[in-house]
Amino acid sequence: MIIPILQDKAVQNYVAATVKGVTNPQDQAKNLATTHAVEGIIQDVITRGDTALYELAQRFNDALEAGEPIALSEKDWQSACDRIPEDVKASLEEAVANIRLFGEKMMQALPQDAVTYEHHGYTTGFMLRPVEKVACYVPAGRYPLVSSAMMTAITAQVAGVKELVLLCANPADEILYVAQLANVSSVFKIGGAQALAAVAYGTTQVPKMDMVVGPGNRFVVEAKRQLNGRIGIDSLAGPSEALLIVDETANLAFVASDLLGQAEHDPDARITLLTYDAQVAHALQVELESALKLLDLPAFVKDSSLKNSVILITKDLDYSIKIANQLAPEHLHLHGKAVEARQGDLTHYGTLFVGEYATIAHGDYCAGPNHTLPTSGSARFSSSLSPMTFLRVQNILSVSASNSYLNELTANLANLEILTAHAYSALLREED
């Protein structure tokens, strides 16, 4: 059995443990070790700046050589872009155009100027203003994540961010071309927790930024957690996850392809499939076997990602929907006519994929919606990366003459809290 199948009471136990966020002792020990390691890296960068960045690059086998400029030169950047075949450039430009359009549609739905209103003789309101300086982190480990560069840098550009830099320990040519399309000002050849520390505090060669966004491994996520407040972050995203609800009319070959697509992200990727039809659960195992024989996938897909994923056989579609809303997955995919008809009952997810001709891979790369999504159930209270990620709500209050309504109400409430100076500051503005 490629993916474990659970039913009856085991389903309830699995959902309860997942919602609670139960971790085993091994994971707890790994998390603690990660916390301590990242604390040391951040302190090292704070204390020794660029020297620490060079030494950490050597320690983690990054491409940055001791003494060379940390920022990629304009000449090398342009040379990398010139090496890219025209058909590849065209694909990147098309995907960028789709991502840009999605962001622009969102921006068009937002107020472009200050929104104000008159109330009891004073003026109040708000305006949206973009963050000024943003660093986009692009992982350069197992795969060159060109898509992460597109989703972060293009979206920030659409939001109106003035200064964009890219952090990537070993940027592929295609990543640099995307950076050029997004009008990124500098590319710094650093990665890991040390890259985030560098833009949070600034070094001689790396400027201090206002915000850092983008996915990364557990060390990058932990660095975001520790640096949050010193620098703005997008989210604390965990490993990729997908939840599929499947009925008896689904095309199981398509379902299997979506499962494998998510499983190949990394060994920690997790997929949950819900179906009220036991035959679907068992038939899917056969489809997965066939697909695995066709595809040359890393060993971890079968040994880790799929082994640690799960198929839950539920009593009916209503229960499947209830579970999906409890788990609030990063990606939620509906396969089958009965399931698709119930999409309005699903309320918690990062992105919803509807129908067998939609695949999560469309969202990963080029359809338009951002692939940087809330994980680990955080879709109950957070959103995908979007232009709104980079916008600050700034409030406005203008009082042009003594306002008895405000003065008296403020004083009354301040006196309730025994904040005498607050009350005094309001009443002092009362005209004789």
Q: Which residues are catalytic?
A: 330-331
What one-character DSSP code corresponds to residue 388? G
Residue from 223, 191, 188 nearest 207 by CA? 188
Q: Retrieve residue 244's tokens.
A: 């599929």
Q: How far, in whole angstroms, is CA 217 from its chain's centroid? A: 12
Contact of 243 with 327, CB cutoff 8 Å:
yes
Q: How far, in whole angstroms, is CA 302 from its chain's centroid? A: 26
Residue from 331, 350, 351, 370 nearest 149 by CA? 370
Q: How many CB atoms neighbour CB 106 within 10 A?
A: 16
Contact of 34 with 218, CB cutoff 8 Å:
yes
**Amino acid identity of 39?**
E
Contact of 88 with 355, CB cutoff 8 Å:
no
3 state DSSP class of 300: helix
Q: Retrieve residue 222's tokens.
A: 């932990």
Contacts (Cβ under 8 Å, ≥6 apart) of 87 = none
**CA distance linking residue 10 with residue 312, whole number of Å:** 9
Residue from 67, 87, 83, 85 nearest 75 by CA? 83
**CA distance linking residue 192 with residue 221, whole number of Å:** 9
Residue from 197, 204, 135, 144 nearest 167 by CA? 135
* Bridge partner list, 242: 271, 331
3 state DSSP class of 344: helix
